[in-house]
Chains A and B, each alone.
Chain A
Amino acid sequence: MARFRRALLPHPLLTLLLIVTWCLVSNSIALGSIVLGAILGVLIPILTLPFWPDAPKALRTARMVGYMGVVIWDIVVANIAVAWIVVTRANPAMRSTWVVVPLDLRTPEAITVLAGTITLTPGTVSADLSDEGHALLVHALDAEDPDAVAREIKDRYERRLKEIFE
């Protein structure tokens, strides 16, 4: 039974996400669009399985929602801070620097979410991953102390992602 489920629905959450996405695209929750969404939600994970063979083992969805709330709040706060820096600060006065963030996360999905979060919050852009995946290179627009930026990223996002994914 479990094998049958894994063959039909290799990524159950992706299936659910595709159904919700299809309902939003067609902007209706009529039975017809749910059925069509379900067909797509079964077919697409099976067809894309070679690109994503291993599903993350545990995913705490409730904490994921809390994490998204934290990120949206940070996006708003950092937007205002960075807009202020861009408008008021002269170019040479910006202390833009590289920041090296050592990673405790090991799952590729968690590292991807962390890198995306860093880019979405203004003021920091994730630039590169080290060759073995143990460190993340981040560019900060205006940072007094690169180590403090790295500590904040680790404490604010990475710790939460570790609870969600690992």
Chain B
Amino acid sequence: MTATLIIDIATAVSLVIGAVFTFVGSYGLLKLDDPMKRLHAPTKAGTLGVGSLLLGSILAALGRGEPSLQEVLIVAFLFVTAPISAHFICKVNLHRRSCDTPPAPVNDTTWSTLDTPPTGAPKPS
């Protein structure tokens, strides 16, 4: 009796935490004004938000007596793929110059996204 009650409470708490961070992530996406700043909001919703919701799902399945670990797989795939999409959005921002020009890198000449041939250069025949 008490064990199921504790699991129910833990499920509810993690669902609320996940919902709060997903909400703050969406709010940040609306509120922030710069393309690069806006990118910070989904990383919040994508990590602790989804992670906490899935923890609630694991706990709920445990409470029903049919434990499942597929949620761990969802978190793993999300953590592996989310940085790549964020990285590509960054690259598009840099490429279109829709953000502040970054400072020059140390030891090297330029950033790889900005390393483009000068526009208007004659085409190699």
Contact = CB atoms under 8 A, between A and B. Distances in A.
A69 B33 CA distance: 33
B108 A27 contact: no
A83 B47 CA distance: 12
B94 A128 contact: yes
B72 A24 contact: yes
A135 B105 contact: yes
A120 B43 contact: yes
A127 B47 contact: no
Contacts of B37: 91, 94, 96, 141
Interface stretch (B8-16, B83-91, B117-125): B83-91
Interface residues of B, number: 51
Contacts of A21: 73
B68 A79 contact: no
Contacts of B79: 116, 120
B105 A96 contact: no
A127 B102 contact: yes
Interface string B73-108: 100000110111011001101100001101111111
A116 B112 CA distance: 17
B24 A27 contact: no
Contact of A131 (B24, B91, B94, B110): B110
Contacts of A123: 40
Nearest to B114: A128
B27 A130 contact: no
Q: By CB atoms of chain B within 10 A, which of A129, A130, A132 has the most?
A: A130
A153 interface: no
A139 B101 CA distance: 11
A122 B44 contact: yes
Nearest to A140: B40
Contacts of A135: 105-108
A2 interface: no
B100 A119 contact: no
Interface in A108-161: 115-116, 119-123, 125-135, 137, 139, 141
A76 B33 CA distance: 25
6 contacts: A86-B44, A96-B34, A96-B36, A116-B80, A119-B43, A125-B39
Given A128-B90, A129-B111, 20 more contacts: A75-B51, A83-B20, A96-B37, A98-B102, A119-B83, A119-B87, A120-B83, A122-B47, A125-B39, A128-B91, A130-B110, A131-B109, A131-B111, A131-B112, A132-B109, A135-B105, A135-B107, A137-B105, A137-B111, A141-B40
